[in-house]
Every structure is written in structure tokens, then in C-alpha cells.
A and B are shown apart, each in its own frame.
Chain A
Amino acid sequence: MENTIVKAENYNSYFGDNHVVKDVNISINKNEVIAVMGPSGCGKTTFLRGINRMHELIPGATSTGKILLDGENVYDMNAIYVRAKIGMVFQRPNPFPNLSIYENVVAGYLLNGIKLSKADRDVIVEKSLTSAALWKEVKDSLHKKGTFLSGGQQQRLCIARAIAMQPDLILFDEPTSALDPISTSSVEALFHELKANYTLIIVTHNMQQAARVSDRTAFFYMGELVEFDDTKQMFTNPSDQRTQNYITGRFS
């Protein structure tokens, strides 16, 4: 139980009357890589955005149930604090275009008005970029704009930005769907390294990626969490026929 970092209890999400995520119960352990997959519109991204309370930023969006982070309901916590503890990386790399690589990494501190000494900032930048496997490539051009980097490097910069806030958990929403295979491979390799210090939840449409990078996989269909199991088990012998139909491409 104490190994659990995130737990959803009877969690539901709505857009107005549209019931998008239905009564999800799931328990995720520390230092696990979780893949979340399912067809478009199945509620996987909405569920992900419910974890760090980004869902509620959309007008008309509501949710019920609990998301427990280390046993505490995130909906009883300060939303800004929740998003600091739960980092997020999006589909398209989105470094701040007017900020340098260096400034991008510490953007979370700058934008929240958290003052740091230059020495502390230097340490955070080097540590975060090293963790994101980007330090060696950018250490001599830290003051160039982040947008000068390649797509894969920009995505790793976004990961470094998330890491800089020292989150407990990092959410990834289709993090490599806009990247070429080489960049995808470098980001996937990074997942394996990040796992030592963080818990990762990755929404992906790429089933082979889910199989390659995750310890456990959750399959969503029509808002329901249909199956959540060891990834090896899921891709060799799923227990639910709907999961089998989806992963074998026989979904109608």
C-alpha cells in the first residue's frame, strides 16, 4: 500500500452532460512506467488531465471521485501545488519560444515567482538537462533559444522543464507522436532512465511503444478502464476480449 503513489477511486469526468471517464479505479506504484492506451475518444487523455487537475481548466468540465497522490486527494489540495508535484509533457514539444534553453528549464520557478540564487539555478539546470539526457548536447548553447533545437531535443527540454520542479509523477500525453523514429527512440530510452527516480504515466496511440516502455498497461474503452495488467501479459494474453480486439487491430 505504501508503495502506491497515485490511486483513482471511483473517478468520473464530464464535459457538461457528456460522461467521458466512467468510474475508474486504479492504483499506480512508485517508479512504475504505466502506458494508457485506447481508441480516440475513449477518455484516456481526459483521465490523465484529471490526475493533475488540468481537466477542470476547460469550461463546463467537472469530475467526481478521488485522485489520491500519496494518499491525499488532489482535489483537496492547491491546484498549483498539484501541478508542481505532477509534471506534464504534451504531444507537441512546447518550449517557450522567447526563452533560452536555460530559462526554459527553470521556467516553472520563474513563472511561479519562486526566487532562486544563480548557483541554485545552475545546479537545477544541469541536473534536469542531465536527467533528460540533453546536457551533453546543449551545455555549450544554454543561452540559445529552445526553439533552435530539433523536435526530439525540444521534447527532452520539455521533460527537463518538468523534472526541474522535482515532481513525484510525470504525465506524458502522446509524447512522441510528433517526433521522427530516431527522436522517438531517444525519448523512449529516456523513459527507462527516468523510471529510477520518477513514476511515469504515458498516454500513447502507439501500441508497440506501450509494449516497449511500460511495466503495466491500462486499456480504456468508451470511458471505462477495461483492463489494467502487466504489459507482457496484456500483449500476449489479454484477459478481456475488447483488449484483444483492440491490440490485434480487429476493433470495429
Chain B
Amino acid sequence: MTPLENELTALKKELVNMWILVQSQLNKAKEAMLQFDKDLAREVLIKEKRVNSFELKIDRDCENIFALHCPVAVDLRFLLAALKINTNLERIGDIAAGIALYVVESTVNFDIDGLEKTSLIRMYEEAVNILMDTRTAFEKEDTVLARSIFKRDDVLDAINENAPGTIADVIKADINSLPEALYMLSIIRKLERVGDQSKNIAEEIIFYVEAKILKHYESSQKGKTDNNEKE
């Protein structure tokens, strides 16, 4: 392998490690929410610093590779994608920490019935699965899997769009649940962002592997054939 290939391989490993940490953060925040486990939530908040450290290190590694190796073609695309994926993962890390903070701040535990009615649990599971599949797509350079993310993000969007109604129903059923209902609405909004960030990552994977730019394309178009894609 050339020195540049070695650097890129190491960078890819570093990104995957960050991905695993961010996934773990998101899962722990979910467990903390379901179990109302404030200790676990605090652990997520503490580990957020590690996510930030990953982001800084990956940024620095990319900068060094640009400066020292002048990458072109697929290597250049990989580096550009790595920089953006890094930013997206860090934001998902922020979202996990944000959800953990709600658990720490909330005085009452989240009602499982309310979580079910608002489809929050289903949304959370799908968001975690989407993030996991983007990692698989990245590791295997699987653009078919990356493309499947666009449709699956629509599920999160639909739950988010219905959230005002479903949250209102929870409040109507028990006015005392107002504070936790507002937390639930905020979590739904955050999970919708996880879907968006994962979609951005999927776009970067396709850009890196196929040199196709899907950014700012309607999501409905993305699942269709390559004929519609801008090259």
C-alpha cells in the first residue's frame, strides 16, 4: 500500500470507531429514557467529550492528508466525504447528549404508553437502525444500502409531522403529563434530525464511491434509477 492508502485506511478506521461510539451514545440515551436511568444519562453526557475529541482528531487527520499527500480522484472524494460525515456524526452525538440531558432534567419518568402512542419508540429504533446501516454502507462501500436510507428517513419524517397531533392527544388524556409530553416532542424533533444527518451521510457515501452528487435532490427522486442523478 502507498503511504496515502495507509493514511486513508487509518482514517476510515477512525471514522468507524467514532460511528460505533455515536451509535452507543444514541442507544444509551434511549435506554436512559425508557428506564429513566439518570446515571446512564449522565454517562452519555460525559462521553460526549469523547465524540468531540474524535471530531477534532479526524478534522486534523484530514487536514494533514490534504497538505501532505495532495489526494485526487477517489481519494479526494473520500476525504471530502470523511470531513462531512465527521461533522454529521458529531451532530448525532450532540443529539444523543441532548436526549440524555432531558432525562437528567426531567422530574418524572417518561410514560411508556405515551411513548408508544406518539410512535417515539418505533422512531427511535428506526433512527438507530438507519445510523447502523449507514455505517455498514460506509464500511462495505455499499451504495444500494446507502440509497435505501432515503426512503427510510421518510418514516421518521412522517412521525415527526404527526407529532403535534399525537402529543396533543397525550396532553388531552392527562394534563399533568404536559412537561414530559413537551420533552417527548423535543425528542421526536431531535430524532428527525438524526434521520436527516444519516441521509446526508448516505449522500456522502454515494458521492465518494460513485462520484454522483445527490445533495438537494428530492428524496422521492433518490430511490429511483440513476438516470435522474446529477453526475
Report the Cα distance A208→B211, complex, angstroms: 20
Report the Cα distance A250→B72, complex, angstroms: 12
Report the Cα distance A7→B70, complex, angstroms: 32
Closest to A238 in B: B73
Closest to A237 in B: B211
Query: What mask results when residues 72 to 109 of chain B are scored 1 for a CB within 8 Å of chain A, else 0?
Result: 11111100000000000000000000000000000000
Indicate whether A236 sits within 8 Å of B77 (C-beta atoms), given known contacts A247-B72, A248-B71: yes
Choose from B4, B5, B72, B77 the contact partner of A211 (Cβ within 8 Å). B72
B2 is an interface residue with CB less than 8 A from chain A = yes
Pair A249/B73 contact, Cβ less than 8 Å: no
Instruction: Give chain B nearest CB distance to A57 CB in angstroms.
Output: 36
Q: Determine the chain B residues whose CB is within 8 A of the CB of A198 once the complex forms.
A: none
Query: What mask results when residues 180 to 212 of chain B are scored 1 for a CB within 8 Å of chain A, else 0?
Result: 000000000000000000000000000000010
Report the Cα distance A252→B74, complex, angstroms: 17
Query: What mask results when residues 210 to 252 of chain A are scored 1 for a CB within 8 Å of chain B, else 0?
Result: 0100000000000000000000000111100000100111100
Closest to B71 in A: A248
A207 is an interface residue with CB less than 8 A from chain B = yes
Instruction: Give chain B nearest CB distance to A233 CB in angstroms.
Output: 10
Pair B4/A236 contact, Cβ less than 8 Å: no
Pair B77/A250 contact, Cβ less than 8 Å: no
Indicate whether A250 sits within 8 Å of B2 (C-beta atoms), given known contacts A208-B70, A238-B73: yes
Q: Determine the chain B residues whose CB is within 8 A of the CB of A249 once the complex forms.
A: 2, 4
Q: Determine the chain B residues whose CB is within 8 A of the CB of A244 once the complex forms.
A: 73-74
Once A and B bind, how many residue pairs between them come within 8 Å at the CB atom? 29
Residue of B70, B74, B75, B211 most packed against chain A (CB within 10 A): B74
Pair A248/B74 contact, Cβ less than 8 Å: yes
Q: Determine the chain B residues whose CB is within 8 A of the CB of A238 once the complex forms.
A: 73
Report the Cα distance A225→B140, complex, angstroms: 33
Pair B75/A248 contact, Cβ less than 8 Å: yes
Instruction: Give chain B nearest CB distance to A212 CB in angstroms.
Output: 11
Pair B72/A235 contact, Cβ less than 8 Å: yes
Pair B73/A236 contact, Cβ less than 8 Å: yes
Instruction: Give chain A nearest CB distance to B22 CB in angstroms.
Output: 29
Which chain B residues numbered 1 to 24 have a C-beta less than 8 Å away from chain A?
A: 2, 4-5
Pair A207/B72 contact, Cβ less than 8 Å: yes
Indicate whether A247 sits within 8 Å of B70 (C-beta atoms), given known contacts A236-B211, A237-B211: no
Residue of B70, B72, B211 most packed against chain A (CB within 10 A): B72
Report the Cα distance A237→B211, complex, angstroms: 6
Q: Determine the chain B residues whose CB is within 8 A of the CB of A250 once the complex forms.
A: 2, 5
Instruction: Give chain B nearest CB distance to A106 CB in angstroms.
Output: 40
Report the Cα distance A67→B76, complex, angstroms: 36
Which chain A residues numbered 73 to 91 have a C-beta less than 8 Å away from chain B?
A: none
Q: Determine the chain A residues whose CB is within 8 A of the CB of B76 once the complex forms.
A: 235-236
Instruction: Give chain B nearest CB distance to A127 CB in angstroms.
Output: 37
Instruction: Give chain A nearest CB distance to B204 CB in angstroms.
Output: 15
Closest to B231 in A: A237
Residue of A207, A211, A236, A238 most packed against chain B (CB within 10 A): A236
Indicate whether A247 sits within 8 Å of B73 (C-beta atoms), given known contacts A236-B211, A237-B211: yes
In the complex, besides A236-B73, A244-B74, A249-B2, 11 extra interface pairs with C-beta distance below 8 angstroms are A207-B72, A208-B70, A211-B72, A235-B72, A235-B73, A236-B211, A244-B73, A247-B72, A248-B4, A248-B75, A250-B5
Q: List 15 A-B contacts (CB under 8 A).
A: A207-B72, A208-B70, A211-B72, A235-B73, A235-B76, A236-B72, A236-B77, A236-B211, A237-B73, A244-B74, A247-B73, A248-B71, A248-B72, A249-B4, A250-B5
A-B pairs, 5 with minimum CB distance? A237-B211, A235-B72, A249-B2, A247-B72, A244-B73
